Chains A and B, each alone.
Chain A
């Protein structure tokens, strides 16, 4: 869907919402045509519709709304009096607009084109044509082909569990068919059933997934309101909005997250004077970042405020009788900080309207734990606080590796796996050191954990199939896990296990294998902790953690080995790979002369494949240079291996930089510079000109926004950080009372009434004048001022 389609959809949805809301007003106005407030409501509707459709090619809606607006303006100014005939004529127009919007949505064409007649009815004096106008008032008969509907999550759950049952039943049927033997016809039919079930399962899983953007979108407003109320300045940074998570889970973390942000602004960020004294910037910074780590979603909320005062907490805990002096003395710094989660302890000097409402961090933690999540706390007194919510991805499908131990299957999240090596393959040496084991894999020494020992299950030593799985759980160190056998890669639907099972700290959840047996999903960090391996804990600065765990092999970096679409093995440094994705066929298109794919709301240049890839489903690597992303089409992922510096340069410049040896085979190394060269789709933020728009103007943001952005501007809302320094300020001249805070740049007034464009105001639908104004500023001239 192109941006224009998005806009149309937005327009349709908005208009329909307004029509729904207007339903009651229309009836009330019909009963009392002189009622001014009803009249205003209806005027606002046609006015907005007229404004919104000015940007689309919708002459009929525009004509109708324009005519109705004129009449209503007369009514409002008292030039005309409302009589039943006129009311009916206006209502007929509103109904027609409803029908046209409906038609726009369903793609059908409305045969009757008697708009002129409806418009003419408006101008007829009272009493002239009684019968006719009444006849034109018809409600839209069929509401068909709606593009979106609301469903209770409950219903989706039922469908989901029905589909899961279906998958299991299919598997059982497959076994029966295999055992009893069947003809080719049955086989083909069964395969079709099987494939269809697979598709349904995929689709239903996706219906439950939502981008976390939906939750994050409300946060800037919340932060602004809270900060305004407290007279503080806050800059809110949000990252990782495209992480997907279960819809229900998003609802469940909404309250805790909101509360944490309120707390951060209220209790964390100091007053401006205090901040200046402490040598901090006057504007407090709050950073919210979402990321996926295995079967968990991490949501980090970091502020640069005062942190938690452990001493104060201890004093309060003692005052409330929660702690004795003796106990207090023995608390570690982390335990002192963790007192914040005890009921009834708040460090705020005074109870405020924002967060002192009796809802404390204890409730936040309880809410997060109820959904199988955890809160990590990283306190830097005086420097800031970082809270990390770890919530499970319930009902989401995660790729996993199933392994065997003592005849039982367990699943390991694939995202934590770095490599798999066979013990008998000769590449591994296992040594015992003071009761613990160390595995040496290609010169790299790793702590070795026997899964059998970690789970307390006795099992025989070194079988023929025994494998080591090298695990690198997010934010921690690396270790090798010994299992009896590696069975399969599977996509598993993971659900949280019962609290007593989760409390062992070894498992991330439960899932069902294809044969219907329950499988436990192992939690790699938990297993390491149980086995007593000290993994480097996550630190305040995550970049530090990654340098601390750098591979010991000099200059070798982990790299992804894959089969290219032309059937050659190629390799790319893992650090450049954001993720691997399967892209549906409709997202791959030749547009603007080259291959592009649409992912979420961004468009990436697609490389690594020829024009024949257009319109085909494809697997891609999302590569990132930190600012820009490109997509690279691949066949299959082969492995993750260390990539040394021993690379023979390629003969010609291209997407391959050279060739290297991996496991005795020649492998082509991708040239990242070449891939990113010229793909800078967006200029760095700072280099783009900034256009400030009023904070609460839906029209400007939705309808005008894309026009402004395509003219090369970055949009900020008035009141947001940086808004006062914008290059151009759009203000709504209809609401002159709202004076934006402006320090530099030029002001362009936009007015909604074409009659009032006197002076420097520009009519909101005058596209060319708007673009001129934007271009003037862009080229640095100030001719219009």
Chain B
């Protein structure tokens, strides 16, 4: 069975998100900050009449390379638990079709990747991590929720 995945760039890697969970891809330019919110929440943005909570995925995964907080860029819109979110990524590439199974990860992943990775998929003849949107939304400290 073939499944569609959205390929995005995050922390210098190409990773996959299940396309079925993705509503749209948008460009975020202005953000309303949310003081005292967890670090992985960049702010709020409006998509038509909905208020999106914008999550900085690099912060959700606690990737080392992140410096300062992102205030814009390409974001993937998802709905989790009834609330709409925009997941800020480095870049959005394309939707690809992958035919294989989701394979268990064959090596030890660094830091935040290990929390968010659901498995590996093969697309475009390359291996990619499949990330769990739930973890990206929940951010660090998610252990308590799982």
Contacts and interface: CB of A to CB of B under 8 A. Distances in A.
B36 A455 contact: yes
B126 interface: no
Nearest to A166: B49
In the complex, which range does the number of interface residues on chain A fall in?
20 to 34
Interface string A147-183: 0000000000000010011011000000000000000
B48 A500 contact: no
A520 B50 contact: no
Interface in B58-77: none
A517 B30 contact: yes
B146 to A, nearest CB: 15
Contact of B44 (A161, A167, A456, A518): A518
A496 B32 CA distance: 16
Contacts, number: 65
Contact of B51 (A165, A167, A408, A518): A518
Interface string B23-48: 00000001011111110010011101
Interface of A: 161, 164-165, 167-168, 408, 455-457, 495-501, 504, 506-507, 510-512, 516-520, 530
A497 B53 contact: yes
B34 A520 contact: yes
Contact of B48 (A168, A455, A495, A519): A168
B46 A501 contact: no
B145 to A, nearest CB: 10
Nearest to A162: B49
B46 A498 contact: no
Contact of B50 (A161, A457, A517): A161
Chain A's interface: helix, strand, loop or mixed, by majority?
Answer: mixed
Nearest to B49: A164
Counting chain B CB atoms within 10 Å of each CB, the highest count among A164, A168, A456, A500 belongs to A500
Contacts of A165: 48-49
Contacts of A495: 51
Contacts of A455: 35-36
A518 B33 CA distance: 10
A511 B36 CA distance: 18
B36 A499 contact: no
Given A511-B51, A512-B46, A512-B49, A499 B32 contact: no
In the complex, which range does the number of interface residues on chain B fall in?
20 to 34
A408 B43 CA distance: 12
A496 B30 CA distance: 21
Given A165-B48, A499-B81, A500-B53, A518 B41 contact: no
B51 A510 contact: yes
Given A501-B41, A504-B34, A519-B32, 5 more contacts: A165-B48, A500-B37, A500-B38, A501-B34, A510-B51
B54 to A, nearest CB: 10
A73 B38 CA distance: 75
B36 A506 contact: yes
A497 B45 CA distance: 12
A431 B37 CA distance: 30
Nearest to A511: B51
B5 interface: no
- Nearest first, the 8 A-B pairs at minimum CB distance are A164-B49, A455-B35, A518-B44, A498-B53, A510-B51, A518-B51, A498-B83, A518-B32
Given A408-B33, A517-B32, A500 B51 contact: no
B53 A501 contact: yes
Given A510-B51, A516-B46, A518-B45, A504 B37 contact: yes
A517 B46 contact: yes
A518 B85 CA distance: 13
A498 B35 contact: no
15 contacts: A161-B49, A161-B50, A165-B48, A495-B51, A497-B44, A497-B53, A504-B34, A507-B34, A518-B32, A518-B44, A518-B45, A518-B46, A518-B51, A520-B34, A520-B44
A370 to B, nearest CB: 8
A506 B35 contact: yes
A512 B48 CA distance: 10
A520 B45 CA distance: 11
A185 to B, nearest CB: 30
Given A510-B44, A518-B46, A497 B51 contact: yes
Contacts of B30: 517
Contacts of B32: 408, 517-520
Given A455-B35, A456-B36, A457-B35, A498 B85 contact: yes
B46 A500 contact: no
A645 to B, nearest CB: 44
Nearest to B36: A504
